[in-house]
Structure 1
Amino acid sequence: MTLTAPPRPAVRHRGQPRKLGVWTRARRAWQLYLLLAPVLAYFAVFKYWPMYGVQIAFRDYRPDAGFLGSPWVGVKHFARFFNSFQFWDVFTNTVLLALFNLAVVFPVPILLALLVNQLPGQRFKRLTQTVLYAPTFISTVVVVGMLYVFLAPRTGLVNNVIVLLGGEPIFFMGEAEWFRPVYVASSLWQEAGFQMVVYLAALAGIDPSLHEAAKMDGASRRQRIRHVDLPGIAPTISVLFILAVGNLLNIGFEKALLMQTPLNESSSQIIQTYVYEAGLKQAQFSFSAAVGLFNSMINLALLLTFNSVARKARQGALL
């Protein structure tokens, strides 16, 4: 039989700071928590409290009976959506448009930021930033109106150029195969400038001594972009990519609805427009809530998955 000595109590050495409790730290930094309170209140009121209404996706909601008075039906509306003949068409259109939009709109702002950052004159650089950033302030309705004007079959500028080059005019807004390219191209023109500014801010935070050391070692401009600029903005790219994947299926509802016509509906009918038609036009509140919840759950799964992958990649690469 062996006797083991009881564990010695932890002894705090002289000069070692004492660990403070949670409430003590909160009292000392109450000004910071006071500044944080409006943000917490906003999320609590406008983000978390409305989740109470998600239960209508599992009920046959009737406005006169309210949430709790409506009969509980479980996953009836989910099964109805999955078994409908429109499910695969709507889901495929949403995924294809989302992937196409992510593949084009996400990397282009990175390239623009790297190119603009290399411009020599500050005045010309600011002018370029302003020109690329200006479309961000144009509303979606105006952008779609411009598309209808510029892509008109007879009077549109684009079709006039096509005819001058010997081609045939194209009905861009009426042909289903042109919906995705037009949607993504307009999104790129409107959103690339804002995302470019984010990457330019990250590039401005890179230590200039790294570029000076690379120049002294004989690195070319391309090598400095590859080995200094890209690693410097890699954390920003990772965070924005995770956020983009988390909102992968949250495609711009307004633009898709405004660009949708009876002729291109086979490729323009996505989950968001389908929810709009079922929920508002047909007053199927529970069914549309179930479809919207299905879309949100997919986004949540993608966000958690890619966040875990990015965390493991950073650990593996020792970043």
Structure 2
Amino acid sequence: MYDNTEPKIYIVGYLAHNVTDKFGRLLLVEGAPMTDNMIQKLKNRRISFRLSEENAGKTVDTLQHLPVNDSNSPFKVPEKIDKKFENFNLESVMNASKYLNILLKEMRNDSFLGNNLKALSQGQSATYSHSINVAILSVAIAEKMQLPQASLQEVSIGALLHDIGKMLLPPDVLREVSRMDDGQEMLYQQHPRIGADLLAADKLPLGIYLTVQQHHEKYSGGGYPYGIKEDTININACIVSVANVFDRVTSGIYQRNSLTPTEAIDRIRSGKGLDYHPLVVDLFVSLFKKVPQVVC
């Protein structure tokens, strides 16, 4: 997907099954191409695995042009999108969905991105559904902002993988998101950094890496994991931050008392210039069919 110049890579074989760690967290999916380096890392962690002999022994220019071997892959926006999108301009939502479908097909043919997206969808289906929603909203905002094509692709991939770091969190932390203790909260707040570090294993554009790393930073400071603010936060991360909050607070999966879309947009507007980039908030609000009046 990205044209990175690298030496030829020898594929030892392909995983014959999904690989999980001792906590049951999905690390690699069936069909993932395996190199000597990847095999050694699994052995160092004492993680058992089995390779398929089919197509083994190949030499390729890069891993990223190998197909993802799964006919039932999740590389498609659901035909029936979330009901909350009925509150948005239909043309903007449909255009964003079409763009994502094209991008997801490209990601399917990128071993690194495809494997991570499959691992997220199979290991944490709720997080994956959330990520699709966040990506649709992020693309719609980015198109309103008239970002160049390269930046649009970066914010889209960053949105799809913004929560990839959650795959490496202890399971009990994810089960208790709505009522974490201080220790669990500290661990949870590391998922953007963990996700960015995971993606740093491949030579991806900086905009993708920073989107994942900074999507919980606040415009006026005080966010996590680094507490940076204003223009030091990548604009992609500012876009995903707003999209992420909207979908999270309107989804019963993440909190017991979810908000209506109208209540959610009101909360986001109240955080304009504090938690969220002012321009991003304005563009996000403009996507709604009927914008609620601000109560003074």
Q: Which has the higher helix share?
A: 1
Higher-Rg member (1/2): 1
Question: TM-score, normalising length from structure 1?
Answer: 0.25
Of structures 1 and 2, the one with the larger relative CO (CA 8 A, separation 6+) is 1
Q: Which has the higher strand share?
A: 2
